[in-house]
Amino acid sequence: MRSVLLWLLVCLPVSFAATAETAPDTTPDYKEGEAYIRLASPQPTNTGENIEVVELFWYGCPHCFDLEPEINAWLEGKPDDVEFVRIPAILGARWELLARAYFTADLLDVEERIHEPLFEAIHDKKRRFKDEDSVAAFFVEQGIPIEDFTSTFNSFAVATRVNNAKLMTRRYQIDGVPTLVINGKYRTTGRLAGGNTQMIQVMEYLVDQERGDGDSEASATVAQ
C-alpha cells in the first residue's frame, strides 16, 4: 500500500501538468468586421484613464428594453477601470422627446426613478408618449415636482445635451440601437454579435483588448 501511495504522489503532478498543457484555449477570438466594427475615426472619451463603454439606446426600442437586464447584470460586477455611459441615440425627430426625458432625469439626479420605469411603461404597459405633457405626467407619477420637470426639460442644459447626442449618434456611425461603443474605437450590436448576451461578451472582449493596449503603451513609455 505504501508503494502505491508513493507512486500516486509522483504521478499526480505530472498528470495535472499534462492536463494544463493540453487543455484547449477557450478564450474567444471575435473577428473585426464580424462581431464588431472599428470606427473609421476614433472618438474622444470623457473618462480619463478608464475605459469607456457607451450604450446608445432609445426608449421606444424593444431590443433596448430586452438588453437592460444584461446591462444591469454586467454593471453589478463592472471592473473599476471601466466607466459606463448612457446616451439616448437620436436617429429621427420623434426620438428627441424621450432623449429629452432621459437628460431631464439625469440632470435632476432621478435617473434611477425614471429610467427602468419609463422602459416598462412603454413596453409592458403599452403606454405612449407623444408630447411634453405626457412625459410630464409620467415624471409627476414618479414623485418629481412638475415645476422641476418643466424648468429642466426646457432648459439650455438639456438642449445642449440633446444636440450632443445627435452629434455622437452621427460620429459613432450607428444605424440602429442598441449599440455599444467601446473606448471610442469600436461598436457592436446584437445583430453583429449574435444576440444580447453575446453583445456583452464582445464588449468585455474589447475592453480586455483596450486594457492590454494600455499596458503595452505604458510598457513602451517606461522602456523609453
Query: Under a CB-based contact definition with an 8 Å cutoff, are residues 122 and 95 in contact?
Result: no
Res 216 pLDDT > 60: no
pLDDT at 194: 96
At residue 86's C-alpha, the angle toward residues 80 and 91, to 5°, is 150
Within 10 angstroms of residue 195's Cβ, the number of other Cβ atoms is 13
Q: In the predicted model, what is the mean pLDDT of the chain?
A: 88
What residue type is 107 in one-letter code? L
Q: Quickly tell me which residue has 444576440 as its cell.
A: 195
CA nearest to 176, candidates 164, 188, 159, 163: 188
At residue 133, does pLDDT exceed 90? Answer: yes
Helix (H, G, I), strand (E, B) or coil at 51: strand
Give the pLDDT band of residue 213 (cuts 50, 70, 90). Answer: confident
pTM of the entire structure? 0.84
pLDDT at 26: 59
CB 149 within 8 A of CB 16: no
Tens of pLDDT, residue by residue over 138-187, are 999 999 999 999 999 999 999 999 999 999 999 999 999 999 999 999 99
Where are the chain's structural domains?
53-198
In this structure, what are the phi and psi dihedrals at residue 130, rounded to the nearest 5 degrees?
-115, -15
**How far apart, in whole angstroms, are the C-alpha atoms of residue 10 and residue 3?**
11
Reading the block at residue 34, the C-alpha cell is: 464580424
The pLDDT of residue 8 is above 90: no
Cβ pair 114, 101 in contact under 8 A: yes
Note the CATH number of domain 53-198.
3.40.30.10
Q: Mean pLDDT throughout 20-27?
A: 52
Grid cell, residue 82, equals 471601466
pLDDT above 90: residue 48: yes
Give the residue among 116, 206, 111, 106 at the shortest CA–CA distance from 165: 106
